[in-house]
Amino acid sequence: MSALSSFPSTDAPNHPLAVRMGVVAGISSNVVIGTAIGSFSVMLAFVQTRLGILPEEASAGIPILLVGASVIAPAAGVLLGKFSLRMIMFVGALMLTAGFLLLAFSNSYAMYLLAYGLFLGPAMSLTGSIGPSTLVTRWFNRKRGLALGLANLSILIAIMPVALNWFVTKYGATAGYLGLAGLSLIVLAPVTLLAINHPPTGETQAPEPAANRTSDGSFSTAQLLARPRFWAMALAAIASMTSSTVLGSLLIPMGAAWGFTRGESALLASLMSLAGIAGSVLFGIIADKIGGGRTLALVAFDCGILWALLLLHPAFPAAAACIALIGMHGTGAIPGLGRAISDAFGQASFSRGFGLNTIIALPIMAVAIIGSSWLSRVNGSFAPTFISMTAFFAVAVVLGLYAAGGRAPDLRASPA
């Protein structure tokens, strides 16, 4: 039975291979994010020495990677709907390998930026984010939110810095990059080939007659962008994603302004990241219980309160609790958004919707990071940033509830 000829219920039993596809997605996401981002800080000093560049020039790798990932995201969403998901994820694995090989042997700063922007960044979208999440969304009807949360658990990124630092100390930085390339080629590439494009029972499709859907049963990019409900869920999710990103950029100067030591400020950053692991699972479960839109509204409501509490300049233990909870809620947006898109617009529309959300988030997050730094410098206080984020979340609560409102579309309707 073709993926376009059947319309499974959103609560239909999962296919027996669903768990295996979830494992494939989890390994893929972990290897890409763990190697591309988890290796970055360890290799910075080597890059500065080898290329003869300043620390801020070496640090440009991650922003370039994020731009590369975001720019290709909408195209990735379309490609995953039109072509083989397995082969696209495999291509992403090869791109990751090529990027690390370029980093291992290049002595050019331009090639350094090229490796992150044109190889590691696209690999992040194809094989680290949109590809694995699309695989999970296609195969899971029940507990889809939990499956998305588990697949996006970034466990390797917590292990990679320590392991890679030991390896580089013992064998050198070039060997370190070659080891990362080998991990991608030997582990990631074969795993992506285990992905199966569609479940035999098919996927829920866009709630429109067949004539108004694309050939893969989804809404087109233009159709999604024309729907206020899509914008509501996207902006509600972006609010919590922006929250964690902005807070991460402020922690060191904010800690200093509040009288925390640099070590205490760094600890706050670690707590935020560790809590994010728990949030991905917790809010995946919640999304399955109450729906994606309501989950996004809940995340926004909680985050609004937490950011408002930061206005009180809490002592270190209270600040640590607030910041950890903000980190936990930041990752909760991913399963919430995934559940919201697939429930409202069909599993077939997920990759397009998720890709569009990524590119929409890029300018908002960039403005938020730059704006928060400017506000704190001009005002000599972080209060305007805290108030701005609290206001953003107040709007996000309304958007999340709007995204959850209305009658659920009949995604099983006849294509005739």
Whether 177 and 58 have beta carbons less than 8 Å apart is answered as no
**Per-residue pLDDT at 98:** 97
Check whether residue 82 and residue 122 sit in a common domain.
Answer: yes
Q: Which two tokens stand for residue 196?
A: 């199966």
Check whether residue 230 and residue 151 sit in a common domain.
Answer: no
Q: Which domain does 99 fall in, by range?
A: 18-192
Looking up tokens 């039993």 gives: 13
Check whether residue 214 and residue 362 sit in a common domain.
Answer: yes
Q: Which two tokens stand for residue 273?
A: 């990241």
Check whether residue 45 and residue 126 sit in a common domain.
Answer: yes
Instruction: Count how many domains the chain has.
Output: 2
- Cβ-based burial of 120 (10 A; exposed 0-12, middle 13-18, buried ≥19): buried
Task: Tell me how far the alpha carbon of residue 58 is from its chain's centroid.
Answer: 23
Check whether residue 239 and residue 185 sit in a common domain.
Answer: no
Vertex 350: Cα angle to 217 and 151 (nearest 5): 135
Q: What's 227's domain CATH number?
A: 1.20.1250.20
**Per-residue pLDDT at 82:** 84
**Residue 11 belongs to a domain:** no
CA torsion sign, 28 to 29 to 31 to 36?
A: positive
Q: Which two tokens stand for residue 150?
A: 């588990």
**Per-residue pLDDT at 80:** 87
Question: Which of 354, 319, 325, 126 shows the shortest CA–CA distance to 238?
Answer: 354
Q: Write down the number of H helices and E strands in the chain.
A: 19, 0
Check whether residue 26 and residue 153 sit in a common domain.
Answer: yes
The rounded average pLDDT for each run of 10 residues, N- to C-terminus, in the chain (416 residues) is: 42 86 95 90 86 84 88 88 92 97 93 95 94 93 90 84 89 94 96 93 72 75 91 94 83 84 82 84 92 94 95 92 91 90 88 90 86 83 91 96 68 37
Task: Tell me how far the alpha carbon of residue 193 is from its chain's centroid.
Answer: 22
Helix axes 18-36, 144-151, angle to 10 degrees: 30
Last residue in a domain, options 163, 192, 221: 192
Q: Which two tokens stand for residue 123?
A: 């690999």
SS3 letters across 350-406: HHHHHHHHHHHHHHHHHHHHHHHHHHHHHHCCCHHHHHHHHHHHHHHHHHHHHHHCC
